[in-house]
Amino acid sequence: MRSDLPKVLHPLAGRPLLSHAIEAARALSPSTLCIVIGHGGDHVRTRLAETGLTWAVQERQLGTGHAVMQALAHLDATGTVLVLYGDVPLIAPQTLRSLVEASAGTRLALLTQELDDPRGYGRIVRDGQGRVSRIVEEKDATPEERTIREVNTGIMALPGTRLRGWLEGLRNENAQGEYYLTDVIAAAVADGVPVEVRHPRAAHECLGVNSKVELAGLERQYQASQAVRLLEAGVTLADPARIDVRGTLECGRDVSIDVNCVFEGRVSLGDGAMVGANCVLRDVAVGAGTEVKPFTHAEDAVIGANARIGPYARIRPGTRLADDVHVGNFVEVKASELGRGSKANHLAYVGDSTVGADVNIGAGTITCNYDGANKHRTVIEDDVHIGSDVQLVAPVTIGKGATIGAGATITKDVAPGGLTLTEKKQVSKPDWKRPAKPKK
């Protein structure tokens, strides 16, 4: 990967490769989920500090069979052992379930696939009756064996009652001097244990990552599958090739998404919601009929129904926008609530504020919520109108129905109703000269 970051921590769809494999395994409700780590393992364990994981350390990297040996002490010897790989992120839970069912705790179930170009993969060798007899790694294969197109994916389900004995019988007399897990196939055949074969539903499920090129290819595979899922659910995508889902995206009916949008964490879009081009939404719930206009960034927020957000709006964490709210271009809202029908249409900052219903906030208005050490709250009650270029110096409360004139700096609470100004005398100095740079 040409990187200091352990391979399994490189991100796909915003999450480490290993997290995808763990998620697929969790879908089967395993009694134990053991991660075997080696080089860079401490970094992996720190990054994936999830509950319910068991860790085993492979001090020396002596092959896949040796890796599974390190996990044996943590596994139920009477159950089915399912072996996955941390750099194979797109394996589907349905495929894994078919393997476990095929094993049934008594058989060895192997996931294979046929490739037009099998180079680099171990080949599946079958006997005269078409039964799997062994797996041969490419470096150890004969020229004839290298013509076989059925390859080993490495993913298998094994009976725990047999696994320890098979692993103890492994030998490293091969081109790489390693203990191959694939050699247990021949051991199972020798013991009369049936070998079942299953295939993935899609070829990309079994693709591993060994370079940034391959990682980028899998990213596109993943995003293409997400686009298909959304299209099949009735979502309109302006271009299915230009959407990135880096978490979960749930959509209601008649949702439309323009190009180059990124969805991170958990995002939900209500019926009829529209998301314009180049938006980034992270952990956001968007209500029905709301339009999120282009270049809007929103994070950890709830947006009500029939709202209008953007373009170029920034909705920061802790924001709650009610129905029919308008937050316009170059408006930033942080840790604030805006009541139904309130508007901040241009060039404003609303932070640490509670804004009532039907409030209008003029262009250039800011809530001065930070005194250099602490944040303070601004309260704007219902039906307040705030003129352009107003500074509200928190903590401060603007009473219901009040109007604040343009350019005012409000440092004290304002009573309900009426007009509040901070009047300044306009002065003209006709003889004043603009400073000029000295001539060279």
How far apart CA 277 and CA 242 sit, in angstroms, is: 10
Task: Please indicate, yes or no, whether residues 224 and 163 belong to a single structural domain of this protein.
Answer: no
Task: Please indicate, yes or no, whether residues 184 and 293 belong to a single structural domain of this protein.
Answer: no
Task: Please indicate, yes or no, whether residues 60 and 108 belong to a single structural domain of this protein.
Answer: yes
| Bridge partners of residue 113, in order along the sequence | 151
With contact defined as beta carbons under 8 Å apart, do 339 and 357 qualify? Answer: yes
pLDDT of amino acid 59: 93
Task: Please indicate, yes or no, whether residues 201 and 328 belong to a single structural domain of this protein.
Answer: no
Residue 191 predicted with pLDDT over 80: yes
In-domain check, residue 439: no
Domain range for 137: 7-206
Confidence class for position 378, pLDDT limits 50, 70, 90: very high
**Which of 155, 174, 206 is the C-terminal boundary of a domain?**
206
pLDDT of amino acid 120: 86
Task: Please indicate, yes or no, whether residues 184 and 250 belong to a single structural domain of this protein.
Answer: no
In-domain check, residue 304: yes
The backbone torsions φ and ψ at residue 287, rounded to the nearest 5 degrees and listed phi first, read -75, 170
Candidates 107, 356, 15; CA nearest to 99 is 107
Q: What is the pLDDT of residues 289-341, one digit of tens each?
A: 999 999 999 999 999 999 999 999 999 999 999 999 999 999 999 999 999 99
Task: Please indicate, yes or no, whether residues 26 and 161 belong to a single structural domain of this protein.
Answer: yes
In-domain check, residue 433: no
In-domain check, residue 427: no
Looking up tokens 């080949």 gives: 123
pLDDT of amino acid 440: 76
- Judge whether 20 counts as a catalytic residue: no
In-domain check, residue 438: no
What CATH code is carried by the domain that includes residue 24?
Answer: 3.90.550.10
How many structural domains is the chain composed of? 2
pLDDT of amino acid 360: 98
Mean pLDDT, rounded, for 224-239: 97
pLDDT of amino acid 175: 83
Share of the chain above pLDDT 70, in %: 100
Confidence class for position 231, pLDDT limits 50, 70, 90: very high
Mean pLDDT, rounded, for 355-374: 96
Task: Please indicate, yes or no, whether residues 183 and 216 belong to a single structural domain of this protein.
Answer: no
How far apart CA 367 and CA 203 sit, in angstroms, is: 55
Residue 438 predicted with pLDDT over 90: no
- How far, in Å, are 72, 255, 291, 303, 322 from residue 288 at the CA level? 51, 9, 9, 9, 12
Task: Please indicate, yes or no, whether residues 130 and 253 belong to a single structural domain of this protein.
Answer: no
| Bridge partners of residue 114, in order along the sequence | 150
Q: What is the pLDDT of residues 93-113, one digit of tens each?
A: 999 999 999 999 999 999 999
In-domain check, residue 401: yes
Q: Among residues 10, 43, 346, 385, which one is catalytic?
A: 346
**Which of 206, 233, 263 is the C-terminal boundary of a domain?**
206
Average pLDDT, the chain: 95
Task: Please indicate, yes or no, whether residues 223 and 352 belong to a single structural domain of this protein.
Answer: yes
How far apart CA 367 and CA 373 sit, in angstroms, is: 16
Q: What is the pLDDT of residues 413-436, one digit of tens each?
A: 999 999 999 988 878 888 988 888
Q: Which two tokens stand for residue 201?
A: 């539903």
Task: Please indicate, yes or no, whether residues 109 and 150 belong to a single structural domain of this protein.
Answer: yes
Looking up tokens 């494999």 gives: 21
**Which of 206, 222, 257 is the C-terminal boundary of a domain?**
206
Mean pLDDT, rounded, for 375-395: 97
Confidence class for position 163, pLDDT limits 50, 70, 90: very high
Q: Which two tokens stand for residue 405?
A: 């004139």
| pTM to 2 decimal places | 0.90
What CATH code is carried by the domain that includes residue 389?
Answer: 2.160.10.10
pLDDT of amino acid 49: 80
Instruction: Kindly give the interhelix angle for 160-168 and 64-71, rounded to the nearest 10 degrees.
Output: 130
- Count of Cβ atoms closer than 10 Å to residue 147 Cβ: 10
Candidates 40, 55, 49, 52; CA nearest to 10 is 40
In-domain check, residue 250: yes
Q: What is the pLDDT of residues 59-68, one digit of tens each?
A: 999 999 999 9
Q: What is the pLDDT of residues 55-88, one digit of tens each?
A: 999 999 999 999 999 999 999 889 999 999 999 9
Confidence class for position 1, pLDDT limits 50, 70, 90: very high
Q: Where are the alpha helices (DSSP H) in 192-250?
A: 212-232
Task: Please indicate, yes or no, whether residues 167 and 272 belong to a single structural domain of this protein.
Answer: no
Looking up tokens 């990297």 gives: 61
In-domain check, residue 1: no
DSSP SS3 for 302 = strand
With contact defined as beta carbons under 8 Å apart, do 155 and 164 qualify? Answer: no
Mean pLDDT, rounded, for 255-273: 98
Residue 50 predicted with pLDDT over 80: no
Q: What is the identity of the amino acid at 437? A: K
Examine residue 294 and say whether the peptide bond preceding it is cis (omega within 30 degrees of 0).
no
Confidence class for position 216, pLDDT limits 50, 70, 90: very high
Task: Please indicate, yes or no, whether residues 300 and 389 belong to a single structural domain of this protein.
Answer: yes
